[in-house]
Structure 1
C-alpha cells in the first residue's frame, strides 16, 4: 500500500542486548552477562540505531548512557518483554509439572475443612502450585473427574469404577443411622443392622455407582431380612429432609451429627456396621506429579498409611 510504513520485528537477542545494556551501562558487563563478545553487543546496538534512525546510547570512554530515544524505547519495551518471559516460564513450569492449578472436588463442611489443611501442605510441597476446591454432589464430582474438569475427588468409599483410581483411606469414621426423631429406634442409644429390617432407607439415584449404593443402602440385613426401599434423595439435604419428614432412614458417617444437627432427626450409632471411609480418587489416565503430591500431603496431614 502506498505510503505504508513497514517496521521490522526485533529479534530476541536484539531486545536482550538493548535492555541489558540499559541496566549495565557497560558493554563489557553486558557481554559477560549474555555470554557473548563485546563486539557482538556493539554490532547489535549499531544495527538497532540504523533501524531507528537515531542514537540509542551516548558513548564516551568513561560512560554509556541511553539517549532520550533509548530511554523511551526501554520504558515501552521492557514491560512487554518481561510479560513474554513470564508467560514462557509459566508454560514451561506447567509443562514440567512445576506450577499450575490442581482442582479438587468435595462435598460438605467436614470435607471442606479437612481439604483446606491438605491444600496448604500441598502448596508447601509444590511452590508455585495452587489447589482450587470445588463443592459438588457425588454424581457431579464423578462426572467432573471423567470430563477432566477436576483432577481429584474427595469422596466416601467404596467407589469401584474401572476408570477411577482410589487412593488409600484417609478418614475412617463410625457409621450411624439417621432416623426420624419420633421413630421408636430413636429412643435407643444404638441400633444394629438387624434392626433395620422393615425400615425404608432413602434410595440413591441410579447414576450413583452401584458399589456405593450397595454399601450405603443395603437391601437385606445380615440375617437376610428385607430392608424396604424408600423415596429417592439426590443430595444430602434432600436425604435429610426425607428422614426428618418421617419417610425413611439413612446410614451415614458420624460427622453428620456435628455438621448437620436437626431437631427432626436422631443420629444413632450402627454398632455392628463397618466404618465410613473417605479418600481421594483420580482418573486412571490423568495421574500427574501434582495429583501424587496432593495424595502425599493428605496422607502426611492425616497420618494415613500408604
Structure 2
C-alpha cells in the first residue's frame, strides 16, 4: 500500500467525483480510476459504489477514511517540519557576525540580503568565531561570518575577504612619528592589547606567531574585546593594538598607522553546514562579500570546502 494511493483515495472520498478528484490531484481520470481499483484489490474490499451519476463511499471506504486522515495529516506535519528547519525557508535566516563588525558593513549586508531574498528575515547574532562554529554544528545557526584560520572541518566556505591590519598607537608613540608605515620589529617589547584567545584560538596563535617572526615580541599581553575598552587601554599607555583601518576617526590622542609588510590581515568568510546550503545562504554569502568589499576588503579566493 503506497502513501500516494491513500492520498488519491482521500481526495476522491472528499470529492465523490472522479473528474474533480483527478483535477485536484493534477492527473488524468483513467489513472486515478486504476489506482483506486488497485487499492481495492489489495485490501480485498470495495471502497466506492459507482454509478453513472454518482460515487459513494461504502462502509469499508468510510472506515478506511477514518484511519487514513490522521496518517496523511501526520505526513503533512512532518513535511512542514522538515521544510521549516531548512535555512531561510521558515522565513528567518539565523546568522552570526563578529563582535567588531562595523555599522556600515551591517547596514550594507542587511540591505543587500533584503534585496536578494525579500521574503526572508535575517536574524543577526553577535558571536565570536568559535561561538559561531559551535552553534553551526549544533544547528543553532544557519550561517556564520568567521575569521580565519579557524576550525572549519566539515563546513563549507564562501569567498574569503582580506583586509590588511595596521596598528593603533598613542599619538605620542615613537612609531607614530612621520605618519608612515610601521615595522612590527619597531614595536618589539611594547605591550599588546588583543582579543581573548577563546574568541578565536587559531587566529590568536597565528597572529602572535607572525608578530614573533617579524621581530615583535610583546612585553605583555592584555585582553579586551570591546573597541571602546581597547582604545581606552591604548590611550592610557597600556599597549598597542593591531586592527584594520578605522571606519570613523579615532578619539583625540590615538592614531592608526599601516604596517610596512602585509603579513597581518583579517581573512573573513561565510561558512555553513553543507547539507543545509540553499538559496538563502548563498544570497547571504553574496551580501557579505559585497558589504566587505565596500568596506575595503579584497576578495581573495572562490568558495571552498573546510
**TM-score (norm. length: structure 2):** 0.62
Alignment of 1:190-201 (within 5 A): 190=180, 191-201=182-192
What's the counterpart of residue 110 of structure 2? Answer: 116
Shift of 1:179: 1.5
**Aligned mates of 1:230, 1:111 — CA distance in 2:** 29
Structure with the greater alpha carbon radius of gyration = 1
After superposition, the C-alpha distances for 1:201-233 in whole angstroms (9 at most, x for unaligned) are 114324244431133345855453532223221
Does structure 2 conserve the Cα–Cα contact (< 8 Å) formed by 1:154 and 1:281? Answer: yes
What's the counterpart of residue 268 of structure 1? Answer: 257
Secondary structure, in 3 states, of the residue corresponding to 1:263? coil
1:288 to 262, 275, 300: 275
Say if 2:143 is the partner of 1:149.
Answer: no
Task: Say which structure, 1 or 2, has more relative contact order (CA 8 Å, 6+ apart).
Answer: 2
**Aligned mates of 1:201, 1:131 — CA distance in 2:** 36
Shift of 1:92: 5.0
Say if 2:285 is the partner of 1:298.
Answer: yes
2:195 to 204, 208, 226: 204
After superposition, the C-alpha distances for 1:35-62 in whole angstroms (9 at most, x for unaligned) are 5459397313x869x99xxxxxxxxxxx
What's the counterpart of residue 71 of structure 1? Answer: none
Shift of 1:103: 2.3
**Aligned mates of 1:220, 1:265 — CA distance in 2:** 21
Unaligned runs of 5+ in 2: 1-5, 34-47, 64-72, 294-298
**Aligned mates of 1:277, 1:249 — CA distance in 2:** 21
**Aligned mates of 1:84, 1:222 — CA distance in 2:** 62
How many corresponding residue pairs? 253
Secondary structure, in 3 states, of the residue corresponding to 2:166? strand
Alignment of 1:10-29 (within 5 A): 16-17=11-12, 20=15, 27=17, 29=19
Unaligned runs of 5+ in 1: 1-10, 22-26, 52-82
Does structure 2 conserve the Cα–Cα contact (< 8 Å) formed by 1:158 and 1:212? Answer: yes
1:43 to 31, 37, 56: 56
Alignment of 1:2-151 (within 5 A): 16-17=11-12, 20=15, 27=17, 29-33=19-23, 34=25, 35=29, 36=32, 39=50, 42-44=55-57, 87=77, 89-93=79-83, 99-100=89-90, 101-107=92-98, 108=101, 109-116=103-110, 119-120=113-114, 123=117, 131-151=122-142
Q: 1:246 to 1:296 in 2, by over 3 A?
A: same
